[in-house]
Amino acid sequence: MNEKHAPLFHIAKRKSLTWYKAWGIRLLAILLALILDALITTLVTGLNPLGVYGTIFKGSFGSMRKFWVLMQNISILLCVSIAVTPAFKMRFWNVGGEGQILVGALATAACMILLGNSLPNAILIPVMVLASVAAGAVWGLIPAFFKAKWNTNETLFTLMMNYVATQLVAYFVIVWEVPKGAGKIGIINQSTEAGWFPMIGTNRYLINIIIVAVLTFFVYYYNRFSKHGYEIAVVGGSEKTARYVGINVQKVIMRTMALSGALCGVAGLLLVAGTNHTVTTSISGGRGFTAVMVAWLAKFNPFAMILTSFLIVFLERGASAISSDFGLNASFADIITGIILFFIIASEFFINYQLVFRKGHRKTEGKEA
């Protein structure tokens, strides 16, 4: 007889958890991930996992310089993450962060190269800000316009805009290459430092961090408390309802994507004027995509994104540190960080659901026999 018995456990929705229990589950997930990582490290490489973890930690906190690099990387990633957030809240799948960063960076570089010798920094930098914001906004606005007017698929459209932006940068890199034939621009205005963001004290990166901190507050406030933010949420929730209460859906889509693109443009500005002082096709380093994950993990809360972007950058830097320190190839570092991320994402499931185990051990089975 093919008799059934009650399953060992079933999944049930949880009563809402207190915040400290929810964070307890997340911490437990990280702990479990570290244990699994340790086992894999020992079995596969024979290295002492504690040593590996120490290196990961040192990759970010090993020296003052490393710490500031960590902070700088977090600020750029955070900037892109808060940039894509308004669009995502509107359920507009903007995966064009890459392209929007690139055109922002390109606009900044253009100002620095073309106007660096003729304008003083006090005028040049505001011009760069305007140029990068405008470039990013336009890059965001184009797919939004087509979406609003003809309901094109924004995911494909923004994705394709990335390639256009990459090629645009590639073209201008050759136009402005220094020296001729080098195939790259090199450091712009190295001697005059025209258009470079000023150092605060001796710190090159602090200004970027401050700018992003201010923007994070702004986006949080904009989403949560402004009328615009409310309209975004309504359009994201139901376009029909938005029309029903007289919200101009097309306008909201375009306005929001312009904002989203503009903030990505700012990220490009920070990269060129604040840190790299040059532009390459790979300057955004995939942040336009990584930011999507950062934003989702933080459930679109800009303050939680500080934490998630820290996590991602910390793991990335740790991974590169272990591959160089132990001579392991980069794939192994990716395995380690991948497992940690997987556990963190999976822990969200256990915050919303619980496993209910069968009561009365094997009682039903006994009856059948």
Partner 1 sequence: MRNITKTFGSIVANENARLDIYRGEILAILGENGSGKTTLMNMLAGIYFPDSGQIYYNGKEIVIASPKDAFEYGIGMIHQHFKLVNVLSAAENVALGLHEKGRFNIKKVAERIRELCDQYGFEIDPNEKIYNMSVSEKQTVEIIKVLYRGADILILDEPTAVLTPQETEKLFNVLRNMRDAGKAIVIITHKMNEVEELSDRVVVLRKGAYVGGVMTKDTNAEEMTNMLVGHTVKLEIDRPEPVNVKPRIKVEHLTVRNEEGLVKLNDVSFTANSGEILGIAGVSGNGQKELLEAIAGLQTVESGNICYIEDDGKEEQLIGKDPLSIQKMGVSLSFVPEDRLGMGLVGTMDLSDNMMLRSYRQGASPILDQKSPHALAENVVKDLGVLTPSIETPVKNLSGGNVQKVLVGREIASAPTVLMTAYAVRGLDINSSYMIYDLINRQKQEGVAVIYVGEDLDVLLQLADRILVLCAGQVSGIVEGKTADKLEVGRMMTRVGGTGSNE
Q: Is 240 in the site for partner 1 (CB under 8 A)?
A: yes
Comparison of 229 and 288: residue with beta carbon closer to partner 1:
229
Phi–psi pair at 97, nearest 5 degrees? -55, -45
How many residues lie near partner 1 (CB under 8 A)? 32
* CA distances, 232 to each of 194, 253, 255 (Å): 39, 8, 10
Residue from the set 23, 244, 303, 357 that interacts with partner 1 by CB under 8 A? 244
**Among 2-10, 131-139, 270-278, 329-337, which window interacts with partner 1 (CB under 8 A)?**
2-10
Q: Give residue 11's Cα distance to chain centre.
A: 32
**Min separation Cβ 28 and partner 1, Å:** 21
Q: How many Å apart are CA 101 and CA 146, to the nearest integer?
A: 20
Task: Report yes or no: 98 and 167 within 8 Å, Cβ to Cβ.
Answer: no
Q: Is 229 in the site for partner 1 (CB under 8 A)?
A: yes
Q: Is 247 in the site for partner 1 (CB under 8 A)?
A: yes
Q: Is 175 in the site for partner 1 (CB under 8 A)?
A: no
DSSP for 247-295?
Answer: --HHHHHHHHHHHHHHHHHHHHHIIIIIII-S--TTTTTTHHHHHHHHH
Residue from the set 230, 303, 349, 357 that interacts with partner 1 by CB under 8 A? 230
Rg (Cα) of the chain, in Å, rounded? 24
Comparison of 22 and 69: residue with beta carbon closer to partner 1:
22
Q: Is 7 in the site for partner 1 (CB under 8 A)?
A: yes
Contact map string, positions 347 to 366, toward partner 1, x by CB under 8 A: ---------x--x----x--
Count of all residues that appear for the chain in the document: 369
**Min separation Cβ 295 and partner 1, Å:** 17
**Among 156-164, 167-175, 224-232, 294-302, which window interacts with partner 1 (CB under 8 A)?**
224-232
Q: Give residue 178's Cα distance to chain centre.
A: 31
Helix (H, G, I), strand (E, B) or coil at 117: coil
Q: DSSP secondary-structure letter at 8?
A: S
Q: Is 65 in the site for partner 1 (CB under 8 A)?
A: no
Q: How many Å apart are CA 245 and CA 341, to the nearest integer?
A: 41
Residue partners of 83: CB distance under 8 A and separation at least 6: 97, 100, 219, 260, 261, 262, 263, 264, 266, 267, 291
CA atoms within 13 A on the CB side of 359: 0
Comparison of 117 and 364: residue with beta carbon closer to partner 1:
364
**Among 35-43, 230-238, 258-266, 314-322, which window interacts with partner 1 (CB under 8 A)?**
230-238
Comparison of 149 and 243: residue with beta carbon closer to partner 1:
243
- Which residues here bind partner 1, judged by CB under 8 A? 4-7, 10, 12-16, 225-230, 233-234, 237-238, 240-241, 243-248, 356, 359, 364, 367
